[in-house]
Structure 1
């Protein structure tokens, strides 16, 4: 784009373009920072020189450790952020997030079964594949339970029921586990982490996440109309069952893949839309991309914080840090809703 073309744009369009450029620069800067921070004491300049020169140690650190972790941070954060915004718009509930409809717990159950049965040790991709299968099954059960009654309350209740069932089955598997090492792996995986991820997880998870994000993006017009009420949306030609299926499919695809490669990471899908909602004047269509951006930023910051807090060979789990930050935000949100309704 030339300077004359930029000058000819309307003022609002110019400001929107500038904001997206700034947002992209912030995301790029955090990605570069993430690539330079790790447990190996190596300066960014030394790392860059070693990668360009083809030195074995810097190249392996960059390509096998830091790049996959950074890419997954962005993809997983974007998936959690956009799916949280889409579900809040679909359910018209400010407290909605991917775990509400059993997406997260379904993926966790599939992964836990893979760890318990030893499939995760037999095949490198068994763990994420089992997590995706668990998500698909959980979402299918939610749809079957809610298909006869199309109201939002039934969908939420079905999601809560499936989520509770998955949590109970996870507890049952852990209770039956007699292998202390398998039990430890299950506990650590459920805490959420992006450490030791490789390009195999990137190749498996990122395409599914991108597909889910595209499905969620296709729902933007329907969510925008639904914000005016179900009757208004119906008169505008929006078919609510198809919109519900589109949002659930996109959430299952993106969040299922994200949880399968990163473990359970909470609160990002809840916090990101609420942080960005004032900047888009609560427009559900505009909220989707900015929530994806905010989710990626939040997870990058959290993962950088995890690496900076590394102490004596023990890494703080990413899901633990996001919960420590997200829980106070969740409580403040509830108190704010209570004050506004009083």
Structure 2
């Protein structure tokens, strides 16, 4: 098992922070209207002309901030769930929150609620995530074992996926169906401070719930009995991770759509650099997730053919080959 020094961990964090800064600056500069770095800096302080100020402050900054929060959430919760479930294939979708939030959003589109309020779709998505949480708590309240959580999550995810398919099957017209598909492909385009204000508090509360879980996850990696011997309240640890994941990921999906692979792939990439200790993976995974999300969002702005890349598609194109490579390398190392 790889072990790294404190200095190496700090260097990794500094390196990821530097990459994140570069990605943020690039995201603020590139788009339908390309800007120079000096224009961006002036606009952030209101010193540029009105048009540039609007582009940077009203159009790009909410998109960037939301992308940072979403990527950090998916990376952090992916690492936390992999540590909790002791399964390297675990990600936020394993507890059913992503698919349930998607079901809520698709239902809002089907019912035409977006015509009454721009917040209808994210609001319904959040409701779907919260309902999934209540069902999960009901199913696993008496037995909070890892197996029960996984089975409950699989059941919730299956029901939500079936509901999405049913709604799409009865879509009233091709435009509604197209809206559903586009939303499920994920995007940060046209996101505003209203979206940030809706999702931000839930994301932050989810983060706060998971502060300090690293020590418990480290103990749990030695086995449930060893963790209990070390004084870890396993039931409390599980619910902190699950509820924190539900709140933060549910809020993320509600405004960004369904975006896969970050929570699955990012912890693997970080694990290859600093080893398998769950506590050491959390913060680097959050930073790497934010970097990857921001970089992928920049790629969605590239003009390709007659259409536009969607964020979920970019992440699948990047994440699937990386994940296959990780599996291949893991298999080779076990021989």
Q: From 194, 198, 202, give the equivalent of 1:204.
A: 198
Which stretch shows the higher mean deviation, 220-229 or 331-340? 331-340
Structure 2 counterpart of 1:185: 179
Structure 1 counterpart of 2:167: 173
CA distance in 1, matches of 2:146, 2:326: 21
Q: From 86, 89, 94, give the equivalent of 1:100.
A: 94
Q: From 157, 161, 173, give the equivalent of 1:163.
A: 157
Q: 1:41 to 1:21 in 2, by over 3 A?
A: closer
CA distance in 1, matches of 2:88, 2:10: 28
Structure 2 counterpart of 1:331: 324
Query: Is 1:120 the counterpart of 2:117 in the alignment?
Result: no
CA distance in 2, matches of 1:18, 1:155: 36
Deviation at 1:334, TM superposition (A): 3.5
Aligned residue for 1:53, secondary structure, equals coil
Deviation at 1:260, TM superposition (A): 0.7
Query: Is 1:38 the counterpart of 2:31 in the alignment?
Result: yes
Structure 2 counterpart of 1:263: 257
CA distance in 2, matches of 1:16, 1:321: 29
Give the TM-score, by structure 1 length: 0.90
Q: From 123, 127, 130, give the equivalent of 1:133.
A: 127
CA distance in 2, matches of 1:87, 1:19: 22
Deviation at 1:47, TM superposition (A): 4.8
Q: 1:337 to 1:154 in 2, by over 3 A?
A: farther
Q: 1:54 to 1:331 in 2, by over 3 A?
A: closer
Aligned pairs (5 A) from 1:4-43: 16-43=9-36
Aligned residue for 1:217, secondary structure, equals coil
CA distance in 2, matches of 1:259, 1:114: 14
Which stretch shows the higher mean deviation, 16-25 or 207-216? 16-25
Query: Is 1:219 the counterpart of 2:210 in the alignment?
Result: no
Q: From 136, 143, 146, give the equivalent of 1:152.
A: 146
Which stretch shows the higher mean deviation, 109-118 or 323-332? 323-332
Deviation at 1:166, TM superposition (A): 0.3
Deviation at 1:19, TM superposition (A): 4.3
CA distance in 1, matches of 2:263, 2:75: 4
Deviations 1:140-193 (A, max 9, x none): 222322334333222212111110110000010111111322211110000001
Deviation at 1:54, TM superposition (A): 4.9
Q: Give the root-mean-square deviation of aligned CA atoms.
A: 2.0
Deviation at 1:259, TM superposition (A): 0.6
Deviation at 1:46, TM superposition (A): 4.2
CA distance in 2, matches of 1:284, 1:16: 13
Deviations 1:112-136 (A, max 9, x none): 1111112222112222121111111
Q: 1:16 to 1:212 in 2, by over 3 A?
A: same
Q: 1:34 to 1:241 in 2, by over 3 A?
A: same
Contact 2:12 2:284 in 1 (8 A): no
Query: Is 1:241 the counterpart of 2:221 in the alignment?
Result: no
CA distance in 1, matches of 2:309, 2:203: 25
Give the TM-score, by structure 2 length: 0.92
Contact 2:71 2:290 in 1 (8 A): yes
Aligned pairs (5 A) from 1:316-327: 316-327=309-320
Contact 2:16 2:288 in 1 (8 A): no
Contact 1:212 1:252 in 2 (8 A): yes
Contact 2:28 2:40 in 1 (8 A): no
Structure 2 counterpart of 1:195: 189
Deviation at 1:63, TM superposition (A): 1.4
